[in-house]
Each structure stands twice: as structure tokens, then as C-alpha cells.
Amino acid sequence: MTDTATVPQGQAPRGITFDRVRPFLGPGALVAMVVFFGSIYPDTFLTKTNLVENILQQVTALAIVAAVQTVVMVVGEFDLSVGGLAALAAGFAATILNTATIDGDPKQPGSLLLAVFLCVVVGLVGGALCGTLVSYLGVLAFIATLAMNEVFKNFARFRVQGKPVYGLVQNNFVAVAQGKTWAVPNTIYISAAIALIVWFLLDRTTLGRKMYAVGGNPDAARYSGINVKFVKWAAFAICGVGAALGGLMQAAYNATANTTAPEPWMLKSIAAVFLGMALMRNGRPNLPGTILGVVLFRTLENGLNKTDINNYIQDVINWGAVIVAVLPPAIARIRENR
């Protein structure tokens, strides 16, 4: 963080303000963490296996979900149903792909294409349902998506009778997810591609501009001729598809669809977006910030894992760090309004 003298474009020259140092905080914190843990645990932390497999590979599914969570948060809402929907979509796909029925009888696996298609459709329908509730029927996102999360999750459990679905090893489904290209896990490429698509959507399309307008001031957006309800609905639908893809990738990598695996995504994806808002672009949700947030959180988690600190206390530190990260911009905003 030595570049604080650089002035971002369009800002008035007025001393060192929080807005100026903000772009350097996130990357700075990441470097600091890698240096810190790397110097203490050069053999376990600072290895290619740890950095690529245990840190980056581990967050690929979460990164997809956090990316689409960003979309919903850009329009000023949030989606608590991502975990449940991921479990449901992955569960549906898995019951087509598995080589044995839930009861254990051998069965012929179905088509891979059909499974992926079904997964996307479930995500789209689920997301659209949440979007309809929030946008067209006026239910608060908190209760609508919280309840839908339980609906999705338990419907998924019903579908798989509460058991993990094993044996998804057909048609290269698992092989692709577990494979590597140029020594980098394929899942990282897939995540990066989806993140890129979401970034393009938010920053380079008219729909993205409309989303930021709706999130910034829905009334002004409406008077500007934007179909506010549709834009919000679309954000939820996109989020549903992303959640489903995240769930599918997780299932493929583990060769198992497990309804409990996506449970932490609800909180972690929202936390990642908040981290991104705190670290980049004036406190608006943004894709690069979200991805940085996901990686930061995981790096800290992984680093602490190498220590002999109590497991519960590790999580206290992880989430305490989230508070520490969102605090300075919050205080800066209060100061600015004085």
C-alpha cells in the first residue's frame, strides 16, 4: 500500500481520504496475509498445492454463487435462498446421473446434457419464483427468500430421501470437474468464466446499468422509464441460475450431491459482497470486489487452519475480520455526512 498518492480519476484533490486508499486495501490485505502466513508456515501454507487447491479450488463454487448474489445486491435486494436452490438443482441433476437409485439398486445413468439442462431450468424457475414474490408481489426479500430457502432445501431432501447421492461418475461429468488444464483445476476456469460473464453483465450492458440505477434509487429509475419490477425480477432469475450452477459444480467435484454442502453459501456469499462493497468502488456492490472478498475470506480461513488455534475461535476471528473490514467505510460515510 505505497501507492496512496495516485489520484483516481474524477476525484477532487483534497488530501488523503478513505476513497483514495480504498482500491489498495483489498489487494494489500491479501498480500499481507499471504506474506504473514507464508513466513510462519512456509512448508504448509506457501505451497502451490495449498494456494491453488486448498484456497482457490475450494472457493470456486462459492465464487459463482457470490457473483450472482452481487447481481441481486446491486438492485438493492438480497437472496437467502441460494443454498437451498443449489441443493435442489444439484439433487435433480444427480438423480439423473447416478448409477444407482436412492435405494441402492443399480440403474442406467441418464443423459448428461439433460441433467445440466434440468439443473439450469430448476435454478431459473426457483430464482424467478423468488423474483416474482419480491418484485411483483411485494414480499420483503428477507422473509420471501428465507422461506424459499427452506422450501427448496427440504424439497431437495425429499427428492433424495435425505441421503447424499453418490456415483456420479459418468460421461466425464466428474472427470472434468476434478481435472486440470495446464496444472490449474478446471473448476477455476469455469468459475472465472462465470465471474467474467457477470462482470460483463453488470458493467458493460444496458441491463447492468439499469440494475445499478434501480439499486441506487428505484423511483428515479422508474421516472427514467426503466421497468423496475422486471429488472429486479431478472436479477433474482439470474441469481437462481448461478446458484444452480454452483451447486452442480460442487456436486461434480465431490462426485456426490449432498444437500448440506451448499448451506454455508447463503451467509458467505452475502458477506463476500459486503467485503467487496467495502473494498472497492465507493460502497456499491461490484463483481471484482466480491471475488476479492471470497478469496480474502478463504485465505484467512486457510491460514488460521494451519495454526493450533481452537476451531471455534478461528471462526470468531474470520467473522470478526469481516466486521473490521466493513467498519472503516461505514465510519467514513458518517464523517462525510457531517
Minimum distance from CB of 214 to another protein (Å)?
A: 9
Minimum distance from CB of 248 to another protein (Å)?
A: 27
CB 168 within 8 A of CB 255: yes
Residues 6+ apart with CB under 8 A from 155: 88
Instruction: Between 24 and 230, name the residue whose CB sits nearer to another protein.
Output: 230
Burial class (CB in 10 A: 0-12, 13-18, 19+), 56: buried
Q: What are the two backbone dihedrals, phi and then psi, of residue 296, each rounded to the nearest 5 degrees?
A: -60, -50
Instruction: Between 129 and 213, name the residue whose CB sits nearer to another protein.
Output: 213
Determine which residue in the list 99, 101, 111, 217 makes contact with another protein, applying CB under 8 A. Answer: 217
334 contributes a contact to another protein by CB under 8 A: no
12-41 binders of another protein (CB under 8 A): 12-15
Instruction: Between 163 and 209, name the residue whose CB sits nearer to another protein.
Output: 209
- To which residue does cell 491453488 refer? 52
275 contributes a contact to another protein by CB under 8 A: no
User: Quick check: helix, strand or coil at residue 62?
Assistant: helix
> What is the length of the chain?
338
Determine which residue in the list 213, 249, 287, 294 makes contact with another protein, applying CB under 8 A. Answer: 213
CB 37 within 8 A of CB 45: yes
Determine which residue in the list 220, 309, 327, 331 makes contact with another protein, applying CB under 8 A. Answer: 220
How many angstroms separate the CA atoms of 175 and 193, rounded?
Answer: 19
Provide the H-helix boundaries in 132-167: 141-159
Determine which residue in the list 10, 104, 106, 138 makes contact with another protein, applying CB under 8 A. Answer: 10
Q: Which stretch binds another protein (CB under 8 A): 9-17, 58-66, 106-114, 158-166?
A: 9-17
Give the per-residue contact string, 160-199, with another protein (x = CB under 8 A; - = no).
----------------------------------------
Q: What are the two backbone dihedrals, phi and then psi, of residue 337, each rounded to the nearest 5 degrees?
A: -80, 0
74 contributes a contact to another protein by CB under 8 A: no
Give the per-residue contact string, 291-330, with another protein (x = CB under 8 A; - = no).
----------------------------------------
Closest CA to 42 of 306, 320, 234, 337: 306
- To which residue does cell 430448476 refer? 122
Determine which residue in the list 3, 224, 320, 327 makes contact with another protein, applying CB under 8 A. Answer: 224
How many angstroms separate the CA atoms of 176 and 116, rounded?
Answer: 14
Q: Which stretch binds another protein (CB under 8 A): 35-43, 133-141, 216-224, 234-242?
A: 216-224
Determine which residue in the list 183, 225, 310, 323 makes contact with another protein, applying CB under 8 A. Answer: 225
Provide the H-helix boundaries in 41-79: 48, 60-74
Determine which residue in the list 101, 181, 205, 260 makes contact with another protein, applying CB under 8 A. Answer: 205
9 contributes a contact to another protein by CB under 8 A: yes
Residues 6+ apart with CB under 8 A from 261: 87, 247, 250, 251, 254
Residues at the interface with another protein (CB under 8 A): 9-10, 12-15, 204-210, 212-213, 216-217, 219-227, 282, 338
